[in-house]
Amino acid sequence: DTGVSQDPRHKITKRGQNVTFRCDPISEHNRLYWYRQTLGQGPEFLTYFQNEAQLEKSRLLSDRFSAERPKGSFSTLEIQRTEQGDSAMYLCASSSLEPGQGTTTAKNIQYFGAGTRLSVL
Amino acid sequence: QKEVEQNSGPLSVPEGAIASLNCTYSDRVSQSFFWYRQYSGKSPELIMSIYSNGDKEDGRFTAQLNKASQYVSLLIRDSQPSDSATYLCAVRWDTGRRALTFGSGTRLQVQP
């Protein structure tokens, strides 16, 4: 399977526990994104990596959230001291410049993984 | 605050009809527009992308963009029950940011 892979698919945890999710992007995609989606809403941006550098962080990303992308390959998203309000689907997406496009005209198509559904009890 | 607005629906159309989904956005400084389809409990799947004013057709799908009026629409011809899903409109603002801003989605129901 050459798509975006996320693990685990489901996570149930108790309030106050720490959780970590993993995302493996499409191979050779240098951009990786994390989004959060709650019921009835569209995905909300959390953070973005280009290679190993974290270039954007949303104000939604409180200090309990941390994301890494060591070596510019897979990424992890950790939530410390989980709260019930953290219950959501956490989506990872990856993208790359289209062949032949410069940075100013890149189409930046984002492809999503299946997501990790987090339930905080 | 840049926003993307969609009617939540549900939009109900009979099988074989044309489904018209609309999306408005708040800022003229926008570059790229995307339509994603999301089945219940699944991840968003890209349907169409459009970057310049006018129409873009791909099979049964046509995306229409009008930057002056700040709206983008998706037409689905010959709607099938398998098209029943939530359709998400997404915008990438022309501010150097890479993130997408999504609307809350329109739920489409195609009645057999």
pLDDT tens string B51-69 = 899 999 999 999 999 988 9
- Contact predicate A45/A32, CB 8 Å: no
The residue-averaged pLDDT of B17-38 equals 90
SS3 (DSSP) at A115: coil
Distance from C-alpha of B13 to C-alpha of B36, rounded to nearest angstrom: 19
Q: How far does the CA of residue B104 sit from the closest CA of chain A (Å)?
A: 4
pLDDT in tens, B31-42: 789 999 999 989
pLDDT at B29: 74
Instruction: Extract the tokens encoding B100.
Output: 């997408």
Instruction: Say which residue, B1 or A104, is predicted with more confidence.
Output: B1
- Please give, rounded to a whole number of angstroms, the shortest distance from the CA of B91 to a CA of chain A: 11
B100, B101, B106: best to mutate for the A interface, most A CBs within 10 A: B100
DSSP state of A41: S
Q: Is the pLDDT of residue B96 over 90?
A: no
Query: Residues B68-86: what's their mean pLDDT?
Result: 96
Size of interface A-B (CB pairs under 8 A): 56
pLDDT at B43 over 50: yes
Strand bridging mode B30-38 / A88-95: unpaired
Mean predicted confidence (pLDDT) in B58-86: 95
Longest C-alpha distance within chain B, in Å? 44
Q: What pLDDT is stored for residue A59 in this prediction? A: 86
Residues of chain A with pLDDT under 70: 1, 97-107
Look at residue B1 in the predicted model and tell me its pLDDT: 62
CB A108 within 8 A of CB A1: no
Determine the Cα–Cα distance for residues A40 and A28; give it in Å rounded to an integer.
33
